[in-house]
Amino acid sequence: MENINILVICTGNSCRSQIAEGYLRYFSKQLKINTNVYSAGIRAEGINKKAIEIMSQDGIDISNHTSNTLEEYTNTEISHVITVCDHANESCPVYLKKVNLTHKNFTDPSKVIGNEFEIQNAFEKCREEIKSFTLSFLEKV
């Protein structure tokens, strides 16, 4: 069985795409699916510390991930693209739209304004939505 090469795209490759990359890698191992999982942004804004924190609470370490731009993957053969925000979906280069494209907009928890409790809840909600989505995605490929 050949590898499935998945590229997750978000605006800044700092939060939602990083969480999705973490879960796709984790669930791929659990389901014994051969994947290479990458993530990129329209811009590379660095990894959000709260994304690292929220994933570690679920036993997944994304602290060694890097924040990348789409240009870094122009020579990588991608079979599946997942856009995790509307901006990334609209900005996705045409050549990537020719592969298996899946779009699901997740609310950006890093944009939530509120107290620490409200921000934590936003990150937890986003994590759980992405967790469910990525498992479902991999069960269908």
Encoded amino acid at 96, one letter: L
pLDDT digits (tens, 9 = 90+) for 72-98: 999 999 999 999 999 999 988 877 777
Set 6, 8, 10, 47: catalytic member: 10
Token pair for 63: 């602290």
Cα gap 133→104, rounded to integer Å: 9
Cα gap 11→37, rounded to integer Å: 17
Q: How many Cβ atoms from other residues are within 10 Å of residue 42's Cβ?
A: 19
> What pLDDT, on a 0 to 100 scale, did the predictor assign at position 78?
94
The full DSSP string for 21-70 is: HHHHHHHHHHHT--EEEEEEESS-----HHHHHHHHTTT---TT----BG
Has 10 been annotated as catalytic? Answer: yes
Set 6, 8, 9, 85: catalytic member: 85
CB 5 within 8 A of CB 77: yes
pTM metric for this prediction: 0.96
The full DSSP string for 108-133 is: -GGG--S-HHHHHHHHHHHHHHHHHH
- Give the domains, in start order, of the chain with CATH numbers: 4-140 (3.40.50.2300)
> What pLDDT, on a 0 to 100 scale, did the predictor assign at position 96?
76
Has 85 been annotated as catalytic? Answer: yes
Cα gap 138→12, rounded to integer Å: 24
pLDDT digits (tens, 9 = 90+) for 5-55: 999 999 999 999 999 999 999 999 999 999 999 999 999 999 999 999 999
Set 6, 51, 62, 92: catalytic member: 92
Q: Residue 2: pLDDT above 80?
A: no
Give the C-alpha distances (Å, rounded to integers) separating 30 from 7, 34, 54, 138.
19, 11, 20, 10
Has 126 been annotated as catalytic? Answer: no
